[in-house]
Structure formats: C-alpha cells, structure tokens
Amino acid sequence: MNIQISTGANVPIYKQIVEQFRQAIATGELKQGEALPSVRALANQLVINHNTVAKAYTHLVQDGIAVSHPGKGLFAAAVRNIYSDAERTRRLEQALEHFLSEVLTLGYTKEELSRFLEEKIAETALIKD
C-alpha cells in the first residue's frame, strides 16, 4: 500500500488516509484479510503523529471496512454492503447532486456531460461490471 498525503490540502490528513484505504479495499487492491500497515509504521512513513493514523483507523473500523485485532493489527474486512438499500441510494443521490451542483456552474451541456461521464466510467478500473 502506497499512501500519499498532502498537508497543503484543505482536507484533514486522517480523512485522506481513510479515503485511500476505503478506495483500496473497495477496488480490491487490498484484499480481505490483508493487513494494513501498523499505526506507528505508517505514521513513521508519512512523518506524522501516530495518533493521527490511529484516528483514521478507528474510522475505518467504525465504517466496517476494516477489522481490528488488538495486539495483531488491522485487517481489510470482507467487501460487502455496509449500508442498507435506502442508505445506499441516499448516498448515491447526494453524491450525484453534489457533483451536478459543482458542474452546473461550469456551463457544460447535457451532451458534453453525458459523453464525459460515460468515458470516465468506462475507463475506471475495478468497478464491477
């Protein structure tokens, strides 16, 4: 796992870590049962405080995408639907609305948008078909 953070971004470090592990597990880059780097190892690698990594890990556990074995480490959980169907739909709708709101101000036409989206989805790896 190659985690990268940028301190200049307006998004907190621990959220960047959470996001990258979320994605790695969702895409299968990190398979079920595989161990995540230890809090101290990752903290040392990223030159940040181990508490910050620990904070990210608690989020991963709370989200159910990683399981904790105190004394052993953190491990990627089984890929499964964490949310209910309603929650899943709600999150999708919210994400989409946020995206459209962003794009609205850019003045793209529906055609341009559709074309761009289809392209991007097609080339996005590891979204199951």
Neighbours of 48 (CB within 10 A): 17
Pick one of DNA, its own copies, none as the site partner of residue 124 (Cβ within 5 to 8 A by kind): its own copies
In whole angstroms, the minimum distance from the beta carbon of 45 to its own copies comes to: 22
Strands (E) across 34-128 are located at 66-69, 73-76
Pick one of DNA, its own copies, none as the site partner of residue 71 (Cβ within 5 to 8 A by kind): DNA
In whole angstroms, the minimum distance from the beta carbon of 100 to DNA comes to: 23
The residues, ordered by sequence, that sit 6+ positions from 46 with a Cβ below 8 Å of its Cβ are: 3, 5, 13, 53
- Residues 29-58 within binding reach of DNA (CB under 7 A): 36-41, 48-52, 54-55, 57-58
